[in-house]
Amino acid sequence: MALPEPLSNLTELPLEKRVVTIGTFDGVHRGHQALLHAAATRARELGLALTVITFDPAPAAVLRPAQFDGAILSLADKVALLTAAGADQVVVTPFTTALAALSAREFFEALVGQGCMEELFVGEAFALGRNREGTVDVLAKLGAEHGVRIVALNRIEDNGVVVSSTRVRRVIQAGDVKAAGDMLGRPFKIVGDVIHGAHVGRTIGYPTANVLPPEGQVQLADGIYATMAALPGETKPLPAMTYIGTRPALNTGRRLIETHILDFDGDLYGQCIAVEFIDRLRSDADFPSLDELVAQLRRDEAATRRVLTGAGFYNN
């Protein structure tokens, strides 16, 4: 079923009362999911629509581009997850320096005026407006002025660490996709169109579907991973092992994401695939010969089957 197109402006919303939640929602991680569930539940209790307001690009990409490590999700995937979590409308607000310059009051009153906001759900660390001046306490005062109930939810922890988009990015960059999956509530994934490579994999018994690292997405650490690959025409993801790196053994210097799909033989060139990362097997390595590379790939394949079987993704 096709998803409804996200809105780009609050003025596109029907003039009717609604429950609103707002945030960047990068990753739509477990903390976001708890917030969305609470907001959706309340909206249903009141018989109102739930409107989710998010930003593109991420505020950090505009305000601190040198420190921003990339998005966890594509915008399309984020909108799909927000909709699946119960959003009746998703408003994707272009984040600009002009928007960042608005005071908390100006921003809040724009939400009230255009969104017919009845209740606003935010995380406890949320802040809006210039210099993040619109903390939860400030929002509560503004809400009291305008008859809007403000609900702030506590943050979610994973093994004693607060679940946040920043934390998810860090573990992805470190290659700890298992920790990333725990915080996201689903595997971290990379989506891309399959391109032609050097075709070396097929000659050594390990053909791969190659995609380029998506522009603007947080960069996953180089190495070998146990993965699941969602392919066009397949009803469920297939077990796979994925290499990320510059292939030092082949001396190409080009960073690629190469996925060998277990027990699969098909032509995927030009098709879009999604690779879900379950666990990291090892770091990248150089091999003196193709024979030694093939021997290691066989060990990697055996490890992949064990990991995916143990995680419940594969029955060998």
Q: For residue range 118-141, list pLDDT tens digits in order.
A: 999 999 999 998 999 999 999 999
> CA 20 to CA 116: how far, in whole Å?
9
Write the DSSP string, 153-194: EPPPEETTEE--HHHHHHHHHTT-HHHHHHHHTS-EEEEEE-
Nearest of 15, 23, 17, 44 to residue 119 by alpha carbon: 17
Mean pLDDT of 178-197: 95
| Residue predicted with more confidence, 185 or 114 | 185
Cis (ω within 30 of 0) for the bond into 57?
A: yes
At residue 249, does pLDDT exceed 60?
A: no
Cα(82)–Cα(36) distance, rounded to whole angstroms? Answer: 8
Average pLDDT over residues 26-30: 97
Q: pLDDT-derived band of residue 1, with 50, 70 and 90 as boundaries?
A: very low
- pLDDT score recorded for residue 116: 82
- Kindly report the pTM of this predicted structure: 0.91
* pLDDT category of residue 285 using cuts at 50, 70 and 90: confident
| Burial bucket for residue 76 (CB in 10 Å: 0-12, 13-18, 19+) | exposed
Task: Examine the pLDDT at 115 and tell me if it is beyond 80.
Answer: no
Can you tell me which residue has the tokens 């109930």? 149
Q: Is 287's pLDDT higher than 50?
A: yes
The 10s digit of each residue's pLDDT in 45-80 is 999 999 999 999 999 999 999 999 999 999 999 999
Report pLDDT for 198: 72
57, two tokens: 């690009």
The structural domains of the chain, ordered by start, are 13-161 (3.40.50.620), 188-310 (2.40.30.30)
CB 230 within 8 A of CB 240: no
C-alpha separations of 227 from 63, 93, 154, 177, 267 in Å: 34, 33, 33, 10, 19
Q: What is the mean pLDDT of the chain?
A: 90
pLDDT of residue 197: 77
Percent of the chain with pLDDT over 90: 70
Q: What is the Cα–Cα distance from 279 to 105, expressed in whole angstroms?
A: 45
